Amino acid sequence: MASTVAEIAVATLKASGVQRVYGIPGDSLNGFTDALRRAGGIAWEHVRHEEAAAFAAAAEAALTGELAVCAASCGPGNLHLINGLYDANRSRVPVLAIASHIPGDEIGSEYFQETHPQNLFQECSVYCELVGEPEQMPRVLEIAMRTALARGGVGVVVVPGDVFFADVPSGAKAVPIRPAPSVIRPDDASLATAAQVLNSAHRVTILAGAGCAGAHQQLIDIAGALQAPVLHAFRGKEFVEYDNRFDVGMTGLIGFSSGYRAMEHCDALLMLGTDFPYRPFYPRGVPVIQVDVRGEQIGRRVPVDVPLVGTVRDTVDALLPLITAKTDSAHLDRMTAHYRRARARLDRLAESRRARSPLHPQYLAATVGKLAAEDAIFTVDVGTPCIWAARYLRMNGIRRLVGSFNHGSMANALPQAIGAQASQPGRQVVTLSGDGGVAMLLGELITLRQLHLPVKVVVFNNGALSFVELEMKAAGIVTYGTDLDNPDFAGIARAVGLFGARVEKAGELDAVLRAAFAHDGPALVDVHTDRHELSLPPKLTYGEIKGFTLYATRTILSGDGDELIDLAKSNLRDLEVE
Interface with ligand TPP includes 141 (CB under 6 A)?
no
Binding piece for ligand TPP, criterion CB under 6 A, among 145-153, 216-224, 423-431, 461-469:
461-469
How would DSSP label each residue in 350-383?
T---TT-SSBPHHHHHHHHHHHS-TT-EEEE-TT
Asked whether the beta carbons of 237 and 395 are under 8 A apart, the reply is yes
Strands 204-208 and 306-309: unpaired
Partners of 53 in the β-ladder: none
* Least separation in angstroms between CB 226 and ligand TPP: 37
* Least separation in angstroms between CB 347 and Mg ion: 24
* Least separation in angstroms between CB 62 and ligand TPP: 18
The rounded distance, in Å, linking the Cα atoms of 434 and 412 is 10
Catalytic residues: 50, 112-113, 382, 467
- 409 interface partner picked from Mg ion, ligand TPP, none, CB below 5 to 8 A per type: ligand TPP
Asked whether the beta carbons of 234 and 362 are under 8 A apart, the reply is no
Longest alpha-carbon distance in the chain: 78
Site for ligand TPP in 406-445 (CB under 6 A): 408-410, 434-437
CB nearer to ligand TPP: give 28 or 384: 384
Which residue has the closest beta carbon to ligand TPP? Answer: 434
CB nearer to ligand TPP: give 10 or 432: 432
Task: Please measure the distance between the N-terminal and C-terminal CA atoms of the chain and give it in whole angstroms.
Answer: 76
Binding piece for ligand TPP, criterion CB under 6 A, among 228-236, 269-277, 459-467, 549-557:
459-467
- 211 interface partner picked from Mg ion, ligand TPP, none, CB below 5 to 8 A per type: none
- 138 interface partner picked from Mg ion, ligand TPP, none, CB below 5 to 8 A per type: none
Binding mask 348-387 toward ligand TPP (x if CB under 6 A, else -) reads ---------------------------------xxxxx--
Interface with Mg ion includes 535 (CB under 5 A)?
no
* Least separation in angstroms between CB 548 and ligand TPP: 18
Among 190, 257, 367, 466, binds ligand TPP (CB under 6 A): 466
* No. of helices (H) and no. of strands (E), the chain: 23, 18
The whole-angstrom distance between residue 65's C-alpha and the CA centroid of its chain comes to 14
CB nearer to ligand TPP: give 198 or 430: 430
Interface with Mg ion includes 416 (CB under 5 A)?
no
Binding piece for Mg ion, criterion CB under 5 A, among 104-112, 163-171, 409-417, 432-440:
432-440
CA distances for 303 relative to 126, 288, 297, 412, angstroms: 26, 7, 12, 33
Interface with Mg ion includes 486 (CB under 5 A)?
no
Binding piece for ligand TPP, criterion CB under 6 A, among 17-25, 107-115, 405-413, 424-432:
405-413
Asked whether the beta carbons of 83 and 95 are under 8 A apart, the reply is no
CB nearer to ligand TPP: give 83 or 336: 83
Asked whether the beta carbons of 505 and 458 are under 8 A apart, the reply is no
The whole-angstrom distance between residue 277's C-alpha and the CA centroid of its chain comes to 15
Among 464, 496, 524, 527, binds ligand TPP (CB under 6 A): 464
Helix (H) or strand (E) segment spanning residue 154: strand 154-160
3-class state of residue 288 by DSSP? strand
CB nearer to Mg ion: give 415 or 436: 436
* Sheet with 204-208, side-by-side order of all strands: 247-250, 230-232, 204-208, 268-272, 288-292, 306-309
The whole-angstrom distance between residue 186's C-alpha and the CA centroid of its chain comes to 28
Site for Mg ion in 281-300 (CB under 5 A): none
Binding piece for Mg ion, criterion CB under 5 A, among 340-348, 373-381, 445-453, 465-473:
465-473
Interface with Mg ion includes 190 (CB under 5 A)?
no
How would DSSP label each residue in 427-439?
S-EEEEEEHHHHH
Burial class (CB in 10 A: 0-12, 13-18, 19+), 110: exposed
The closest alpha carbon to 465, from 432, 436, 431, belongs to 436
Interface with ligand TPP includes 254 (CB under 6 A)?
no
* Least separation in angstroms between CB 462 and Mg ion: 4
How many residues interact with ligand TPP (rule CB under 6 A)?
A: 19
* Least separation in angstroms between CB 534 and ligand TPP: 12
CB nearer to Mg ion: give 423 or 462: 462
* Least separation in angstroms between CB 255 and ligand TPP: 16
Among 241, 247, 435, 563, binds Mg ion (CB under 5 A): 435
Asked whether the beta carbons of 179 and 148 are under 8 A apart, the reply is no
Asked whether the beta carbons of 487 and 459 are under 8 A apart, the reply is no
How many residues interact with Mg ion (rule CB under 5 A)?
A: 5
The rounded distance, in Å, linking the Cα atoms of 46 and 379 is 20
* Least separation in angstroms between CB 232 and ligand TPP: 21
The closest alpha carbon to 58, from 454, 419, 376, belongs to 419
CB nearer to ligand TPP: give 311 or 412: 412
Q: Is the dihedral of CA 144, 149, 155, 160 positive or negative?
A: positive
The rounded distance, in Å, linking the Cα atoms of 578 and 260 is 14
Binding mask 66-95 toward ligand TPP (x if CB under 6 A, else -) reads ------------------------------
Partners of 500 in the β-ladder: 524
* Least separation in angstroms between CB 91 and Mg ion: 23
CB nearer to ligand TPP: give 145 or 468: 468
* Least separation in angstroms between CB 428 and Mg ion: 24
Contact set with ligand TPP (CB under 6 A): 381-385, 408-410, 434-437, 460, 462, 464-468
Interface residues with Mg ion (CB under 5 A) are 434-436, 462, 466
